[in-house]
Amino acid sequence: MGDLIDKLIFLGIAAGSLLVIALLHVAYLTYAERKIIGRMQQRLGPNRVGPRGLLQPIADMVKLLTKEDLVPYGVDKPVFYIAPFISLVCAGTGVALIPIWKKFVLSNINVGILFILALSSLSAYGVILSGWASNSRYALLGGLRASAQVISYEIAMSLALLSVVLMAGSLNLMDIVKAQINSPYKIYLIPQIIAFYVFIISAIAECNRVPFDLPEAETELVAGYFVEYSAMRFAIFYLAEYFGMVVMSALAVTCFLGGWIGPFEIPYIPFFWFLIKLYIILFIYIWVRATLPRYRYDQLMGLGWKVLIPVAIINLFLTAVLKLIF
Amino acid sequence: MNWDLIIFYYLAIVMIFSSVFAIFSRHPVYTVLLVLVMIIHQAFLLLTLGAEFLTVVQIIVYAGAILVLFLFVVYLINLRKETKKSVFIRTVSLIGIVFLLLGGLLIKNLLILLSLKPSFKAYLPFTIEEKSNVWWIANYLFKNYLLQFEIIGVVLLVAILGAVFLIRKVKIVEQK
């Protein structure tokens, strides 16, 4: 009994600190995004709140928390209330499974990679339900688009990850990183470059980011599935989207870029290289957003089903054959 | 008090109630959501038996794919008027007969269960901890049941081809 309580307290502290760190990352990701896109579009970005605008995310948070919580007439209340939380929980739980360092992973389960895929498939519910419960045309269309998009791109993403699983011979994320470190190239980016491309593209689509942000296309659907949400409920959707970005980037770092391994050891900061790689992938997300225009809906579906899935299947087949030969 | 027992009873009670409410709910979206709750609890019931792979597959396949498709269909049909209709009185008697039969079966099964000695440990023919869960399932599936596995694969392929055939664009050529 005492053991169990000790264990629970330790887990609580570890989970709490991980959550706080992840939330800080999410908050400053929004700041970094605005700043980088500002630079790319020859603007300054936020620069009024605090030195160089560094307190902007906190100001935004305070603003959203103190705003009025509007619930429009005719919504399906229970579903309307619960939908943002489904999105947030499904997006945020993935952080617990990522091995940040060889001695730190909050929950080291044997089917970690499948668990993240399961969570990302459940996160479709938040989007679909919010679109349905809002009782609004724009939200309904956004929800429809989002569900079709998430289901389609999930297949390509799973197939890309499967070839990594096949190379590592394990579904445990920790074992995948260790297998990478023991492999001749140290990282799977080089032998699995095709899977990496497929994964990154479908991860962008899975998080509903530009150029695949059709569910929330401002110019057509106002804001898509969360158009009727305001104040903190809107912020929760926003948080879920950025949490999704962080988890997908961390998964890319774990499965393709070798996790915590680096060219040399940094003393006292064992997860230094993990964070550097994570920031590079997040920068790619923002870079893509600032560079590319939005896809048309049929182009999006065509890319998913006619290009990414066949490419991923061929890559999986080649990986299996090469693994049999060597 | 045993923690396993508490978790088991929690999962079992939630599963029973969510299934019953799913049947009685007049609202199709709520029905889908209650079935979702049931499926997730069922997945965690598998987890208490140490079958983590089955847990995740249950969530991915049932909750992530099949129920999303159900929701997709329900979503597109506007049933807001239907949900406000009063109860059909004529069908009540029919439902009553079905319930009596089912209730009888349930009580009979419960009596059989009560006469047995309760053991909440699952029967495991081998120690799962030696190899991972995934290894055991793959071992059984691809050694003992390979033919059945292949047959199911072909059946699913036929179903997919049938679906594609049904939704193909039909070009009507006018005969002159």
Kindly provide the b/e burial profile for residues A138-165, where b requires at least 16 CB atoms within 10 angstroms of the residue's own CB. bbbbbbbbbbbbbbbbbbbbbbbbbbbb
Residue B158 is predicted with a pLDDT of 94
Which of A123, A264, A102, A83 lies closest to A175, judged by CA?
A102
Residue B87 is predicted with a pLDDT of 57
Is B134 part of a structural domain of the chain? yes
Q: Does A100 share its domain with A231?
A: yes
Q: Does A13 share its domain with A119?
A: no
Least confident of A136-145, A291-300, A310-319, B114-123: B114-123
Kindly provide the b/e burial profile for residues A44-69, where b requires at least 16 CB atoms within 10 angstroms of the residue's own CB. ebbeeeeeebeebbeebbeebeeeee
Residue A70 is predicted with a pLDDT of 81
> Can you give the C-alpha Rg of chain B in angstroms?
22
Residue B126's pLDDT band (boundaries 50, 70, 90)? low
**Distance from the B64 Cα atom to the nearest Cα atom in chain A, whole angstroms:** 5
Q: How far apart, in Å, are the Cα atoms of A195 and each of A167, A201, A317?
A: 12, 10, 12
Distance CA A22, CA A39 (A): 25
| Beta-carbon separation of A121 and B52 below 8 A | no
Q: Does A79 share its domain with A201?
A: yes
Q: Does A309 share its domain with A178?
A: yes
Judged against a pLDDT cut of 60, whether residue A60 lies above it is answered with: yes
**Distance from the B167 Cα atom to the nearest Cα atom in chain A, whole angstroms:** 16
Among chain B residues, the shortest Cα distance to A114 is held by B56
More confident residue, B129 or B19: B19
Q: Which of A94-108, A242-256, B112-126 has the highest mean pLDDT?
A: A242-256
Is B27 part of a structural domain of the chain? yes
Is B52 part of a structural domain of the chain? yes
**Distance from the A56 Cα atom to the nearest Cα atom in chain B, whole angstroms:** 37
Residue where one domain finishes, among candidates A41, A66, A91: A66
Q: Does A186 share its domain with A78?
A: yes
Residue A122 is predicted with a pLDDT of 86
Residues of B with CB under 8 A from a CB of A: 3, 29, 33, 36, 52-53, 55-57, 59-60, 63-65, 68, 71-72, 75-76, 132-134
| Beta-carbon separation of A111 and B134 below 8 A | yes
Contact A242, A235 (CB under 8 A): no
CB contacts, 8 Å: B53 with chain A: 110-111, 114, 171
CB contacts, 8 Å: B59 with chain A: 118, 121-122
Q: Domain range holding B132? A: 3-166
Give residue-wise pLDDT tens across range B142-164. Answer: 888 889 989 999 999 999 899 88
What is the sign of the dihedral through the CA atoms of A37, A273, A55 and A48? negative
Which of B8, B7, B64 lies closest to B36, judged by CA?
B64
- Could you report the predicted ipTM of this complex, rounded to two decimals? 0.80
Report the CATH number that the domain containing residue B20 is assigned in CATH. Answer: 1.20.120.1200
Is B174 part of a structural domain of the chain? no
Best of B25, B41, B60 to substitute, by most chain A Cβ atoms within 10 angstroms, is: B60
Residue B83 is predicted with a pLDDT of 59
Residue where one domain finishes, among candidates A16, A42, A66: A66
CB contacts, 8 Å: B130 with chain A: none
What does pTM read for this prediction? 0.82
CB contacts, 8 Å: B3 with chain A: 4
DSSP string, A18-64: HHHHHHHHHHHHHHHHHHHHHHHTT---S-SSSGGGTTHHHHHHHHH
Query: How many Cβ contacts (< 8 angstroms) between chains A and B?
Result: 68
Q: Does A135 share its domain with A7?
A: no
Residue A236 is predicted with a pLDDT of 87
**Distance from the B128 Cα atom to the nearest Cα atom in chain A, whole angstroms:** 12
| Beta-carbon separation of B53 and A79 below 8 A | no
Judged against a pLDDT cut of 60, whether residue B124 lies above it is answered with: no
Contact A22, A243 (CB under 8 A): yes
| Beta-carbon separation of A147 and B64 below 8 A | no
A49 backbone dihedrals φ, ψ, rounded to 5°:
-85, 110
Residue A314's pLDDT band (boundaries 50, 70, 90)? very high
Is B173 part of a structural domain of the chain? no
What domain count does chain A have?
A: 2
Is B158 part of a structural domain of the chain? yes
Best of B6, B21, B53, B56 to substitute, by most chain A Cβ atoms within 10 angstroms, is: B56
Q: Domain range holding A14? A: 1-66
Residue with tokens 């597959």: B57
Residue A131's pLDDT band (boundaries 50, 70, 90)? confident
Q: How many angstroms separate the most distant Cα atoms in chain B?
A: 83
Residue B155 is predicted with a pLDDT of 94
Residue A110 is predicted with a pLDDT of 80
CA angle, B39 as apex, B35 and B40 as ends, to 5°? 120
Four-point Cα dihedral A190, A180, A185, A153, nearest 10? 0
Q: Does A29 share its domain with A154?
A: no
**Distance from the B119 Cα atom to the nearest Cα atom in chain A, whole angstroms:** 23
What domain count does chain B have?
A: 1
Q: Does A37 share its domain with A134?
A: no
Q: Does A57 share its domain with A81?
A: no
**Distance from the A122 Cα atom to the nearest Cα atom in chain B, whole angstroms:** 6
Q: Does A101 share its domain with A2?
A: no
Distance CA A142, CA A208 (A): 11
Residue A134's pLDDT band (boundaries 50, 70, 90)? confident
Among chain B residues, the shortest Cα distance to A146 is held by B72
Residue where one domain finishes, among candidates A34, A50, A66: A66
Give residue-wise pLDDT tens across range B42-53. Answer: 888 888 877 788
Token pair, residue B27, equals: 């609202």
Residue B119's pLDDT band (boundaries 50, 70, 90)? low
Residue B110, number of CB atoms within 10 A of its CB: 10
Q: Does A32 share its domain with A86?
A: no
Q: Which residues, in sequence order, are CB contacts of A37 under 8 Å at separation 6+?
A: A45, A286, A289, A290
Give residue-wise pLDDT tens across range A279-301. Answer: 999 999 889 888 888 888 888 88
What average pLDDT does chain A have?
A: 84
Share of chain A above pLDDT 70, in %: 98
Contact A203, A150 (CB under 8 A): no
Is B172 part of a structural domain of the chain? no
Residue B33's pLDDT band (boundaries 50, 70, 90)? confident
Least CB-CB distance to A110: which of B29, B33, B133? B133
Least CB-CB distance to B56: which of A79, A115, A143? A115
Q: Does A146 share its domain with A57?
A: no
More confident residue, A113 or A264: A113
One-letter amino acid at A211 equals P
Residue B129's pLDDT band (boundaries 50, 70, 90)? low
Q: How far apart, in Å, are the Cα atoms of B137 and each of A61, A159, B104?
A: 47, 20, 36
Residue with tokens 């962080």: A246
What average pLDDT does chain B have?
A: 78
DSSP string, A100-149: -BTTB-S---TTHHHHHHHHHHHHHHHHHHHHHHTT-HHHHHHHHHHHHH
| Beta-carbon separation of B57 and A114 below 8 A | yes
